[in-house]
Chains A and B, each alone.
Chain A
Amino acid sequence: MLTLAVDVGTTTTHCVVHRFDPGDPARGDGRFRPRHELLFESQVYFTPRRPDGELDVPELTRLHREELAAAGFPPGRLGMGAALVTGEAARCANAHEAVTALSGLCAALVSALAGGHAESRLSGRGSGAQGDSQERLRSVVCLDIGGGTANLSRFQCGRDAGFCNLRIGGRMVRFDAAGQILSFTPVAAKLSEAAAYRLEVGATLLPEAQTALAAAAAELLLRALQGDDLPAWAFDTPWDRPAPVGLPDALYVAGGVGELFHHPEIVDPQRFQDLGADLAAALSHRLPKALAVPLPPQSLRATVVGVGEHALLLSGTTIHDGRKDREALRDLAIVELPAEGELPALPAGAIAWFLRPPADCDFDLLERLAARILAAEVLRKSEMLVAVLESDLGKAFSVALRLAAKRWKLDSQILCLDCLDLSDAVLLDVGAPLPEGAVPVLARTLVFPTV
């Protein structure tokens, strides 16, 4: 299967195509360790904007459609995909519309992801930081700096150890060829105050002010990467783990500014007309010598490669798929079943139950959990009952569900998947099963920022 991933960022947009090979299930635990082979990287385009600052959706779709068609990937060839609207672009009122329009690029199932920690998680994986941490059993931070935001992800021995997003990026300040300031962000204003400069639209940005501003932003990034406390205005989403943790063993610098960080020789000051190159240089000068800074396999495309390789998940193989036509399911709202107590309020549309039974869980507990789900589903009279378990208990739980359904005389189709962690996800898309028995899913965190 070929998969598509599209990144619509603050400054640039691009896409990649992967070949998705589920491989064979492992002998020990029966799980798949799928491989993703990067087949195609599109050109990097400036994200098309309308004069009012919103996304130019028709132009955006046209760019990608033509790019893909020219490379030999018409919609019929792309099986599954994901579109990611990142950074400041996610704040556009029509970000959702853009994702819907991009859906047409892919045949079966295209999904949207956006925002906050999900972005950090994906760029941390796409950049190779997570793989490094897992392989070398060390702490690694990925710093993915784009136009609007910097996404940080920390990994310890391959495990997620914290994510945050800062409102720092190359396009904090934009100026024209003559150096006149076109626009700046509130965070840039705060930083310039500290450096005793005042930013004003129309004023000329002096070289020393430019350097001082980039230095202040780089300082902030350095503090963030050690987990130090930062002023609230700097954060888009703060660290999700307790800080401070100190310097990691290695740092991966990715994103558009990351590209300039690793390849300062390509810097053309007239191309972007923003703070990106200065920020890359300032960061480069300030990093402690002891910190290993490997050249990432992916820097500019870290996030989109992360989407292509990690947003598409495979369930375990011992599952139950009672879908009559094995048709793809879209936009299931994920509802986590609490271990005990009241059920959360259920959304009106289709839902997927997510359960995290303890490792030593016996069948009695599974039957009790199934009874609670059935009590709710009977009222909803849903035709499709979807449950997802974190541990390898999908098939067993499907037996509990089917027994309970029989008792309640509910003849809905039952789909029960396992070996999937949906803890941070909001929406779930489920594809048709692969011949090997596993089912591909896309877990989405559709958190479009409202600010």
Chain B
Amino acid sequence: MGRILHADFRLPDAARELRSRTGARIAVGRAGTRPTTAELLKMRIDHAAACDAVRTELSTEFVQLCGCSLDLSTQAEGREGYLLNPPLGRLLRPEDRARLTAAVPACDVLVAVGDGLSSAAAQTQAPLVLPVLLSALELEGVGKVAGPVLVRNARVGVMNDLGEATQARVVVLLVGERPGLSTAESLSIYIGYDPRPGRTDAERNVLSNIHAAGIPPAEAAAQAASWVKGMLDKGVSGVDFKP
């Protein structure tokens, strides 16, 4: 007997239309009262991809691919330590902080890449975002741009440390989002003006959902650059920043 590779054709138009509008698992059929084997396997594959995205370390090839000048770490000890003690993901290791200060003299904009909760997101999207972001920042004329630098086991709050270490006026952090079952490769770009210890989420802006089915990476990069320009011009970011 032949094998059906895609059961979509059996659906009525209306169900197919609804499916096409969302990544959620709707109208997936059933076997008796249970999910079909194919759907169950698909869900387990997606779940495994999400777990891998959280636990995998960023590769050294990735550091080169992105042209990162520095490979830094936060105070969290490895992925396990990062997951068990999240606040440490906001603080750079003292020795890495010193390296950063020494390597990056005063700049207007610092670009950084962090793994966050999905190294898969950083590995997939950052190479697509960075070249456009750097070109666009140059076109916008935002002054001296430093980076990109890599931060392992990073949370968004590490921007404050990055800002203080480099005296950058604006920090742009590409960071992997918590993976879900629809995608494990979604990236966010956080941008903050004058990030210093004590700054909160309310003082940053974010472009989120950058992935294959979300905002195109190149579009997000170009948008991020014009926000950076706007923040430098207005001297503000977060809820007070009106793009």
Contacts and interface: CB of A to CB of B under 8 A. Distances in A.
Interface of A: 28-30, 137-139, 156-158, 318, 320, 360-363, 366, 391-396, 398-399, 402-403, 406, 437
A269 to B, nearest CB: 43
Given A392-B215, A396-B221, A403-B135, 16 more contacts: A29-B215, A137-B18, A156-B13, A157-B14, A157-B17, A320-B226, A360-B212, A361-B216, A363-B132, A393-B216, A396-B132, A396-B218, A399-B221, A399-B222, A399-B225, A402-B139
Contacts of B131: 363
B212 A392 contact: no
B215 to A, nearest CB: 7
Contacts, number: 61
B180 interface: no
A395 B129 CA distance: 13
A137 B14 contact: yes
B104 interface: no
A406 B135 CA distance: 12
A362 B212 CA distance: 11
Interface of B: 13-14, 17-18, 128, 131-132, 135-136, 139, 209, 212, 215-216, 218-219, 221-223, 225-226, 243
A437 B226 CA distance: 13
A137 B19 CA distance: 12
Given A137-B13, A399-B136, A403-B139, A363 B223 contact: no
Contacts of B225: 399
29 contacts: A28-B209, A29-B215, A137-B18, A139-B13, A157-B17, A158-B17, A320-B226, A360-B212, A361-B218, A362-B128, A362-B218, A363-B131, A363-B132, A391-B216, A392-B215, A393-B216, A393-B218, A393-B219, A395-B219, A395-B223, A396-B132, A396-B216, A396-B218, A396-B219, A396-B222, A399-B135, A399-B218, A403-B135, A437-B243
A57 B225 CA distance: 51
A158 B128 CA distance: 34
Contact of A395 (B14, B135, B222): B222
A362 B124 CA distance: 13
A157 B13 contact: yes
A83 B20 CA distance: 36
A409 to B, nearest CB: 15
B209 to A, nearest CB: 7
A402 B209 CA distance: 26
A200 to B, nearest CB: 49
Contacts of A30: 215
A250 B216 CA distance: 38
Contacts of B243: 437
Given A363-B128, A366-B218, A318 B13 contact: no
B216 A392 contact: yes
A396 B133 CA distance: 9
Contact of A137 (B17, B136, B215): B17
Given A137-B14, A156-B13, A403-B135, A398 B222 contact: yes
Given A28-B209, A362-B128, A402-B139, A394 B14 contact: no
Nearest to A139: B13
Nearest to B242: A435
A108 B218 CA distance: 34
A155 B172 CA distance: 45
Contacts of A395: 219, 222-223, 226
Contacts of B223: 318, 395
Nearest to B139: A402
A320 B219 CA distance: 11
A362 to B, nearest CB: 6
Contacts of A363: 128, 131-132, 218
